[in-house]
Structure 1
Amino acid sequence: MSKEPVYLDDQLEDDIHLRDLVEKYLRHWKWFVVGVFVSVIAAFFYLKYSIPVFRTEASIVIKEEDNGGMASQLSALQDIGMLGSMGGASVENEVEILRSKRLLQKVVKELGLNVSYYVEDGIKTKEVYSNIPFYVKVLKYNDQVNLPEVMPEEPYVFTLINDNEIKIDNGEEQQKYQLGSKIILPFAEIMVVPNIVKKKQLMVDSNRFLVRFNTIEGAAIGLEETIQVSLADKNATVINLGLEHPVKRKAQDILNELVNQYNEDAIIDNNLVSKNTAEFIDERLKIIGSELDSVETNKVSFKTENKLTDIEAESVLFLENVNEVSKRHLELATQMEVTNTMIAYLQEGDNSKLLPTNLSGQESEGMSELINTYNTLVIQHNEMLKNSSEKNPVVKNINSQIDQLRSTVLNGLETQKTGLRIAMSDLRRQEAMMDKKIAKVPGKEKEFRGIERQQSIKEALYLYLLQKREEASINMAVTAPKAKIVDYANSTIKPVAPKKMIVLGGAFLMGLLIPFLVIYVGDVLNNKIVTRKDIERALPSLPIIGELPSLGDKEDKTIAEDDRSVLAEAFRILRTNLQYMFVNHHKEDGAKTILVTSTTKGEGKSLVSSNLAVTLADTKKKVVLIGADLRNPQLKQYIQHNKRQTGLSNYLYNEDIELDEIINPSGLKQNLDMISSGSIPPNPAELLMGEKIGVFFEELKKRYDYVVIDSAPLLLVTDTFLINKYADVTVYVMRSGYAESKFTDFVADTIKQKKLDKVAMVLNDVSMANFGYGNKYGYNYGGEKDSMLTKIKKVFIRS
C-alpha cells in the first residue's frame, strides 16, 4: 500500500503562516508590556487594599447509639424480610441537620449575627466583631413591612458621643439617643447597650461604626451559603465544618455555636422517649391509684359489715396450699394488664407517637428491644418532618419501616397475650380444683380473699409503674450530647484569600490576554486591505510591484531632487519592478504607456502617478504625465499648475486646439512634461470615446519615452475602461487600511472580463510596521529631508 507523498512546500508554507501569525503579535510587543505592567500594578493595589479572608475549621464525631442485644434480633428480622433497611440515624442525615435553616437561625439569634459592625480604615471597610464599645440589639421587627425589601442597603452610622449618648446617621438625618433607650427605626425597634468591657481592653480604637441590619432568616441564609459541612470519609462518622470569613473570632464562634445548638437539639430529641414514657406512666398511675383506692375501700367496708378481724389465722392451712398458685396468678395478671395496655396504644396507628419502654417485665426483654427500635424510627420520622414533608421518599421509607415494626410488635404482643391467657386459664382450673377442697370455707371468707387478691395485683402494678417512672426521669437527667467535638473551631494563620501568587499570575495573564484579544478582535473585524499578503491571498496571479509608506500630514508627498526618503526609495523600487512588466515591449512600439488607476477615490492614484513620473524622469528619459481624470482631477496637490490652463478635455472637445498647446513643463524636471485635465466637461465619457483620443496617444508615444496616465477610479465611472486599451501596463493602486477586502473581487472580475490587461498592483499608505514583509529587518533609508515623525517611526521599527 503506497503512502501519500509529503510535500515540503506545503509544510514550509504552514511554518511561514505560523511565523507570520506570531510576528503579527510580536510586532505589538509594547502593548503587551504596557498591559502586563498595568495589570500587575492593579493587582498590587488590589492585594494592598483587599481584606484578607481566613479559613476556620472544626470537626465532630457522631456517637453511635448503643442498642445492646437488639442488633441480633433486628438482623434476623431483616434476613427474613419482615423489616426494611433499618438502623440508627445515618451520618448523612446529621449533615443535613447541621445545614438546616432551623439550627442556623438559632445560631444567629444566640450570637446576634443579624447585626454587623464595620469601621473605616482608609479606603477599606473592615468588619469588627468583639470588644467594641456598644452592641445593637433588635427588640422587634416591624411586621407591617416587607423586611427583605426595606432592610437598608447603606449602613447606618453609629457614633459614640460619650458613655451615655450615641448619634445615629441614616444618610438623611442625624439624631442623638441615650444608651439603653428604645430606638424606633423604619424596619425595627432596637436598643444600643454599652459593652461592659473596659475601654482600655477594647480591640477597636474608634467611636464611629457602620452598622448593617439583616433579618434572622436573611442572616441564616447567608450562613447556609458560606458554611461547608462534609464527611471526613464516606465510611466514617466524623463531620468537618468549614467557614471562610475575614474575622477569625466570629467564624470560630459561629462553628462552635452550631455544634452546641446541634447537641442541644439532639438532647431534646433523645429525651422525647423518656418524656413520653413518663407521661404515659403518670396517666396509668392515676388510673391504677383510683382502682387501688376502690379495692381498699371495698376491703374496709367488707370487714366492717361482717365484723371480721383475723381471717388469715383461721385459714392458715388453706393459704399454705394455694400460696404458690396465687403468686403465679399475680404475676400473669400483671403481665396481661401491661400487654393489653400496649396493644391498645399501638392500635392507635399514630407514626409520630413514641411507645413507653421497660414496661413488659422480665419475660419480654426481646419485645422491649423492638419497642426501642420503634421509638428510634419515630424520632427519625419527626426529625425529617421538620425540614421535609410526608411526600419525601425518605419519610415514606421510614413510615413503611414503622408500619412493619408496629405490625411485628403487635404480633409479638398478641402472641404473648395468648400465652398469658392460656397460662391464666390453667391457673383458674387449678384454683377451681382447690375451691372444691375449700368449699366448706364460709362464703364471706372466700369473698374477702378475692378482694385481697385484687388489692395485691393493683399494689404490685402501682409499685412497678412508680419504679419505671423513676428510671425514665434518670434517663432524662443523664442524656449525653450526640456530637463529640474532635477539634474546636480553629482559624488558619495565613489568609486563604486573596492568594497573592494566583492574583499576580492572573494579572500577568490578563495583561497578555487583553492586548491579544484587542488585536485579534480588530483583525477579525477588519474588512480592509492592510498588508501585501492580503492582496497576495486574494489575487495570487497579480504581481505586486511596490509598497508605498504611510506619510504624515506635514511630510512632503512629492519626491524632490536627490531625495533619500522612504517614499523616494519606495518609488525607485516600484520603478525597477515596473521594468519587468515591459519585457515584451519594443522600441518601435513607441513610449511605454502606464495607466494608474484605483477602485475608488482617495486611494492615492494621483500621488502614485505624479511621483512615478518624477522617478522615471530621474532616469533621463522624456516623460509626460497626463491628468486623465476629467471629473475630479487631483494632480494639483502634487504638481503645481494653473487649474484653468488648457488641458486634455479642451483638446478633445475643441478641434482647433493642437497637442503642443496643452503640453506644459512640470517645473520639477526638465524632461518631465505635464498635460492637465483641463476644464471639467459635462460629458467626459463621450470625449474619451472619440477618435481624437487615439491620435492623442499615438502622437505622445512618438515624442516621449514614458507616458503616465492619472485616470479615474474604476468602480465609480467608465472613463478608465475607455482609455485602458492605449496603456501597456495598468498600475492598480490600493490603499492600506482604506480599500475594502471585497475590492479584490472587483479587480478579479474586471480582469476575468478582460476589461483590464497587464495589471500590476501597488499598495499605498502602508504603515511602517507592515512595510515590506512586516519590515522584519528594519532596513530603511533616511536623509536630511526625513521628518521628525519619520525618525520616530524608524526608532520604533528598529526596536
Structure 2
Amino acid sequence: MSQQNHNSRPQEEEIDLREELEKYSKHWPWFVLGVLICVFIAFAYLRVTTPSYHTIASIIIKDEESKSPSSEMAAFADLGLLGGMGTNSIENEIGILKSKRMMTSVVKALNLNITYYDDDAIKSSELYRDSPYFVQVLKPDEKKLSEFSSEGANQFLLTNVSEEGFELVNKETGEVFKGKFGQPLEIPFADIIVVENSDFIPLEEGVPNVGLRFSNIEPVVLKYREKLQLNLTDKNSSLIELGMDDEVKAKAQDILNQLIFEYNREAIEDKNLVARNTADFIDERLQIINQELDSVETGKENFKEANRLTDIEAEAEMFIENASDYNKREQEIATQLELANTMIDYLKSGSQSDLLPANLGIEEQSVNASIEEYNNLVLERNRILAGSTEKNPVVVRLNSQIDQIRDNVLHSFERLRANLRVSQQELERQGSVINSKISAVPAKERQYRGIERQQNIKESLYLFLLQKREENSLSLAVTAPKAKIVDRAYSSVAPVSPKPKIILLAALILGLLIPFLVIYLKNLLSNTVKSREDMEKVTKEIPIVGEIPSVARKENEMILHNDRSVLAEAFRILHTNLQYLIVNTAEKERGNTIFVTSTVKGEGKTLVSFNLALTLANTNKKVLIIGADLRNPQLQRFEEDARLYNGVSDYLANDDLRLGDLIRQSKHHKNLNLLPSGNIPPNPSELWRRTKTGEMFKELEAMYDYIIVDTAPSLVVTDTFLINKWADITLYVVRAGYTEKKLLNFAADAKNDGKLHDVSFVLNDVKWANFGYGNKYGYAYGEEKKSFLQKLRNKAAFW
C-alpha cells in the first residue's frame, strides 16, 4: 500500500502543475493582447529613441626612467621605509584623466555648453558640426543663466536669416533679438557672436531653423564625466582605453581627442616647470659670478699696473709646471664646493614646495638622483592638489615623502661639502710643499698667482653655468608628450543602445508577464469562489451536480422551449445529474420535492429554481414551483403577476383557504404551475412550524411529479432549516465571484449537523473561462463559432 502511495505522488504533482497552467491558459486572449501592446510600444520606442554609439580611443602613459638611488636612499629602501614612493602611478593618471578640472577644460575648449538642434524635425536631433551657424559666448553670466535654465528660458530659435542679419527668438518668452553675423549681440545672460559655418553643406530641404540651448558649464561637465569610461587593458601595462556612449559620434570623438590633448598639455607644463625653475636659478648665479669675475679681473689689472709687471710667470715656469696638477684639482674642488654651498643656502632659505635646480654638474650621482626624485614628488603633489585639497590622504603622504627626501638632499650636500673641504685641505697641504720650493719667487709673484687662481675659478664656473643654461634651454624646447596616442577616437558602426532584439525580447516577456501577474494577484487576493475546482478544494463531501454559465445583461436569463443555448444545456445536465441523486424514484408513489437554497441573498436561487422547473416541464412532467422565501419573494422576476396573488403565507395562516385555489398556471409553459409566496407575514418562522406545512407538501407531492421550492437564504434566517425535512434533494446554490470560499464550510456544517440533508452544490454565474472544467472540454451546443475579437470582448466582459 505504501509503495502504491509512493508511486502516485509524482502523478499528483504533475496534475497540480497542469491545473496551475490551465488557470492561465484559459485567459490566453489577454496574453495575446498584452504581447501585442508591449511589442507595439517597443516598436514605437525604437522609432522615437535616438540611437547611441560607442566611441573608443587608447593611449599609453610613458613611464619615467628610474635613476639609480643614492647610497643613503638605497639604505632606506632596503629597510622598507620608502615603499610606494613611485611618482608615475597609473591609478593616479586615470584619476587625473577623469578629474572635473580636466573635463571642464574640454567643455570650454569645445563649447559643449551650447547645443544646436534642428527645430523643424519631428524628432529633434543634435546638429553639432552640421549646424549652419555657430555661437561664440563672450561674457557669460552663469548666475543669470541658471535662473533662465530653471524657467526654461535658455532655449532660442535662430530664424529669419538674410544677408542683413538674423533673429534670435526666445522659445519660452517669445522675446526677439535682432543681430548680424560676426557682430556682438547682447542677450539676457551673455554677449554672443553668431558666425556662419563655412563647412556646412545645405541639404535638399534647405537650411533648417536652428535651435540653440545654452547650459551652465557645471552640469555639462558632470554629464560627460559620468559618460566617460576609463579602463586599464591589463594590470601590468600602462595602456588606457577611453570610451564614451553618445548620440552624436563626432561629439564623442572630439571629447576624447580633446581630453588626451588637455592631459598632454598639462603634463608638458609640469615638466617644463622644473626646467624654467632651473633656468631662473642659473641666470641668477650667472649674474653673481659675472660680477665676481669682473672684480677679480679688475684687481689683477690694477696689481699689474701698480707693480709694473709684464710676464712674471716666465720666472717660475718650472715651479708652475710642477704645481699645475694640484692647481687643476684645486679648481675643480673649489667649483664643487661653491655649488655645494650655493645649494645648501638654497635648500635652507627656499620653500619646501619649490623645485630644486637639476643638472648643475654636481659630480656626486647620488645627490643628483635625490634632486630628481624630490622634483618628481613635488610635481606629482602639485598635480593632485589642482583637483583636491591639502587633506587628501595622497597629498599628505606625498608631503611626508617630500620632507623626508628634502632632508636627505640637505644632509647629502652637507656631507659632500665636508668631504670637499677635507680634499681641499689635503691639496693645500700638498701645495704648501710646492710653495716652499718656490719661496725664492718674489712676494709679488705669489700675490699675483693668488689673484690669477681666483680668476680661473670664477671663469670656469661662469663657463660651466653657460653650458648648463644651453642644455636646459634645449630640454625645454624638446619636451615630449606624456601620453602616446595608440588609436585616435573612433565610433562603432552599429548603435549600442537601444538594442532592437533586447527591447523586443523584453517587450515579449513583459507582455506575457503583466497578464500573468495580474491573474496571479487576482487569484491570490480573491476570496470568492470562481470555479468548481475552488469548491472541491474547500469541501469534498458535498457533490457538485451542475454549473450554470454567466448570462450577459442583454441576454435572456430564462430558457425557452427547444432552447439550444449554453444555459439550457447546463440545466439539462443538472436534470440528468439529479436523476442519479433521487433515491427510490421508481418506487415512490408521490412526486419528488427539490429544495433550492443558498447561503446569502443574491446567489441566484430563484434563477436556478425557475429554469430547473422549466427544464423538467419540457420533459412532459407536471412541475410546480413554490415561492418559499416568505420574507423576500423573487418569483415576480419571471412571473410578473406572482406578487399580486395569495400564496403560501396566506395558506398557512388561513385555514379556510384551499391549496388548489392558490395555484396558478405559468405563462411560460403548460406543464408548469406556480404557487406564489403570498403576502409577506410578520412571523414566517412561526408559520413554517405549523403542522399544516407537512400537509401542504404531502398534498402537492400527490398532485405533481416535481415540486421545486425556492427557499430563503440559510445563513440569514432559519426558515429553510425548519422545512428541509420535507425535501428529497437540497440544491445549495453558490454564485461564482460572489460567494466567499469560507461560506462553503457553512453548507458542510449544516449537512453534518443534520440541518440539511441530501445536499448538492449548484455553481451559478460561472464565467466562460471557468465553465466546464476551465472551458477545456466545454462547448456551446449548436452555437455559432465566435471570432477572435468576439472572444476577446467576451473575455473583457467576464474579467
Q: TM-score, length-normalised on structure 2?
A: 0.90
Give deviations 1:176-212, integer Å, cap 9, x for gaps. 2222333333332222122334x65789942411111
Counterpart Cα distance in 2 of 1:204 and 1:64: 54
The verdict on how the C-alpha distance between 1:309 and 1:747 changes in structure 2, with shifts beyond 3 A counting, is farther
Counterpart Cα distance in 2 of 1:3 and 1:463: 112
Kindly provide the amino acid, as one letter, of the partner of residue 768 in structure 2.
M
User: Shift of residue 548 of structure 1?
Assistant: 0.7
Q: More displaced, 145-154 or 759-768?
A: 145-154
Counterpart Cα distance in 1 of 2:71 and 2:19: 79
Kindly provide the amino acid, as one letter, of the partner of residue 15 in structure 1.
E
Is the partner of 2:644 in helix, strand or coil? coil
Aligned to 2:194: 192
Aligned to 2:551: 551
Aligned to 2:614: 614
Q: More displaced, 749-758 or 127-136?
A: 749-758
Aligned to 2:631: 631
User: Shift of residue 688 of structure 1?
Assistant: 2.8
Aligned to 2:226: 225
Kindly provide the amino acid, as one letter, of the partner of residue 195 in structure 1.
N
Kindly provide the amino acid, as one letter, of the partner of residue 158 in structure 2.
F
Aligned to 1:331: 332
Counterpart Cα distance in 1 of 2:139 and 2:149: 15
Q: Are the aligned partners of 2:120 and 2:209 in contact in 1 as well (CA < 8 Å)?
A: no
User: Shift of residue 459 of structure 1?
Assistant: 2.4
Aligned to 1:495: 495
Give deviations 1:551-594, integer Å, cap 9, x for gaps. 22333323333333322221121122223333367956954332
Kindly provide the amino acid, as one letter, of the partner of residue 356 in structure 1.
P
Counterpart Cα distance in 2 of 1:791 and 1:290: 107
The verdict on how the C-alpha distance between 1:366 and 1:584 changes in structure 2, with shifts beyond 3 A counting, is farther
Q: Are the aligned partners of 1:132 and 1:203 in contact in 2 as well (CA < 8 Å)?
A: no
Q: Are the aligned partners of 1:646 and 1:661 in contact in 2 as well (CA < 8 Å)?
A: no
Is the partner of 1:140 in helix, strand or coil? coil
Aligned to 1:682: 682
User: Shift of residue 333 of structure 1?
Assistant: 1.6
Alignment of structure 1 residues 240-251 onto 2, 5 Å: 240-251=241-252
User: Shift of residue 36 of structure 1?
Assistant: 2.8
Counterpart Cα distance in 2 of 1:367 and 1:689: 124
Give deviations 1:637-679, integer Å, cap 9, x for gaps. 1234341211112122233323333222334444433211111
Q: More displaced, 743-752 or 265-274?
A: 743-752
Is the partner of 1:239 in helix, strand or coil? strand
The verdict on how the C-alpha distance between 1:795 and 1:587 changes in structure 2, with shifts beyond 3 A counting, is farther
Aligned to 1:462: 462
Give deviations 1:510-556, integer Å, cap 9, x for gaps. 33333333333333333331111111111222211100112223333
Question: Cα RMSD between the aligned structures?
Answer: 3.3
Q: Are the aligned partners of 1:61 and 1:486 in contact in 2 as well (CA < 8 Å)?
A: yes
User: Shift of residue 635 of structure 1?
Assistant: 1.0
Aligned to 1:128: 127
Q: Are the aligned partners of 2:131 and 2:210 in contact in 1 as well (CA < 8 Å)?
A: no
Kindly provide the amino acid, as one letter, of the partner of residue 14 in structure 1.
E
Is the partner of 1:731 in helix, strand or coil? strand
Give deviations 1:95-141, integer Å, cap 9, x for gaps. 22221222222222222211111114642111112243321111122
Q: How many residues align?
A: 792
Counterpart Cα distance in 2 of 1:515 and 1:595: 41
Counterpart Cα distance in 2 of 1:692 and 1:191: 109
Q: Are the aligned partners of 1:243 and 1:251 in contact in 2 as well (CA < 8 Å)?
A: yes
Counterpart Cα distance in 2 of 1:59 and 1:28: 55
Kindly provide the amino acid, as one letter, of the partner of residue 228 in structure 2.
I
Q: Are the aligned partners of 1:131 and 1:204 in contact in 2 as well (CA < 8 Å)?
A: no
Is the partner of 1:184 in helix, strand or coil? strand
Aligned to 1:733: 733
The verdict on how the C-alpha distance between 1:543 and 1:332 changes in structure 2, with shifts beyond 3 A counting, is same
Aligned to 1:97: 96
Counterpart Cα distance in 2 of 1:520 and 1:772: 21
Is the partner of 2:678 in helix, strand or coil? coil
Is the partner of 1:389 in helix, strand or coil? coil
Kindly provide the amino acid, as one letter, of the partner of residue 425 in structure 1.
Q
The verdict on how the C-alpha distance between 1:187 and 1:758 changes in structure 2, with shifts beyond 3 A counting, is farther
Counterpart Cα distance in 2 of 1:543 and 1:75: 97
Q: Are the aligned partners of 1:61 and 1:484 in contact in 2 as well (CA < 8 Å)?
A: yes
Kindly provide the amino acid, as one letter, of the partner of residue 541 in structure 2.
S
Give deviations 1:62-101, integer Å, cap 9, x for gaps. 2222346569997776334353234351222222222122
Q: Are the aligned partners of 1:613 and 1:708 in contact in 2 as well (CA < 8 Å)?
A: yes
Percent identity reads 49
User: Shift of residue 338 of structure 1?
Assistant: 1.4
Kindly provide the amino acid, as one letter, of the partner of residue 359 in structure 1.
L
Kindly provide the amino acid, as one letter, of the partner of residue 39 in structure 1.
C
Give deviations 1:360-391, integer Å, cap 9, x for gaps. 43x31232123222222222222122223333
Q: Are the aligned partners of 2:114 and 2:212 in contact in 1 as well (CA < 8 Å)?
A: yes
Q: Are the aligned partners of 2:29 and 2:792 in contact in 1 as well (CA < 8 Å)?
A: no
Counterpart Cα distance in 1 of 2:479 and 2:79: 34
Q: Are the aligned partners of 2:316 and 2:438 in contact in 1 as well (CA < 8 Å)?
A: no
Q: Are the aligned partners of 2:71 and 2:366 in contact in 1 as well (CA < 8 Å)?
A: no
Alignment of structure 1 residues 131-280 onto 2, 5 Å: 131-145=130-144, 147=146, 150=149, 153=152, 155-171=155-171, 172-173=173-174, 174-197=176-199, 200=201, 205-280=206-281
The verdict on how the C-alpha distance between 1:294 and 1:439 changes in structure 2, with shifts beyond 3 A counting, is same
Aligned to 2:528: 528
The verdict on how the C-alpha distance between 1:204 and 1:459 changes in structure 2, with shifts beyond 3 A counting, is farther
The verdict on how the C-alpha distance between 1:181 and 1:549 changes in structure 2, with shifts beyond 3 A counting, is same
Q: More displaced, 77-86 or 153-162?
A: 77-86
The verdict on how the C-alpha distance between 1:297 and 1:631 changes in structure 2, with shifts beyond 3 A counting, is farther
Kindly provide the amino acid, as one letter, of the partner of residue 322 in structure 1.
A
Deviating beyond 6 angstroms after TM superposition, the runs of 4 or more aligned structure 1 residues are 2-5, 71-76, 201-204, 786-797
1:673 aligns with 2:676: no
Kindly provide the amino acid, as one letter, of the partner of residue 189 in structure 2.
F
Q: Are the aligned partners of 2:51 and 2:497 in contact in 1 as well (CA < 8 Å)?
A: yes
Q: Are the aligned partners of 1:83 and 1:404 in contact in 2 as well (CA < 8 Å)?
A: no
The verdict on how the C-alpha distance between 1:772 and 1:202 changes in structure 2, with shifts beyond 3 A counting, is closer
The verdict on how the C-alpha distance between 1:204 and 1:464 changes in structure 2, with shifts beyond 3 A counting, is farther
Kindly provide the amino acid, as one letter, of the partner of residue 84 in structure 2.
S
Counterpart Cα distance in 2 of 1:749 and 1:535: 15
Counterpart Cα distance in 1 of 2:412 and 2:490: 52
Kindly provide the amino acid, as one letter, of the partner of residue 509 in structure 2.
L
User: Shift of residue 763 of structure 1?
Assistant: 0.7
Kindly provide the amino acid, as one letter, of the partner of residue 613 in structure 1.
A
Counterpart Cα distance in 2 of 1:737 and 1:616: 28
Kindly provide the amino acid, as one letter, of the partner of residue 740 in structure 1.
E
Q: Are the aligned partners of 2:38 and 2:510 in contact in 1 as well (CA < 8 Å)?
A: yes
The verdict on how the C-alpha distance between 1:5 and 1:694 changes in structure 2, with shifts beyond 3 A counting, is closer
Give deviations 1:602-630, integer Å, cap 9, x for gaps. 21100111122222334444432211111
Q: Are the aligned partners of 1:734 and 1:762 in contact in 2 as well (CA < 8 Å)?
A: yes
Aligned to 1:64: 63
Alignment of structure 1 residues 278-317 onto 2, 5 Å: 278-303=279-304, 310-313=311-314, 315-317=316-318
Unaligned runs of 5+ in 1: none
Q: More displaced, 543-552 or 410-419?
A: 410-419
Q: Are the aligned partners of 2:543 and 2:760 in contact in 1 as well (CA < 8 Å)?
A: yes
Q: Are the aligned partners of 1:627 and 1:709 in contact in 2 as well (CA < 8 Å)?
A: yes
Kindly provide the amino acid, as one letter, of the partner of residue 287 in structure 1.
I
Kindly provide the amino acid, as one letter, of the partner of residue 115 in structure 2.
S
Counterpart Cα distance in 1 of 2:561 and 2:448: 154
Q: More displaced, 543-552 or 74-83?
A: 74-83
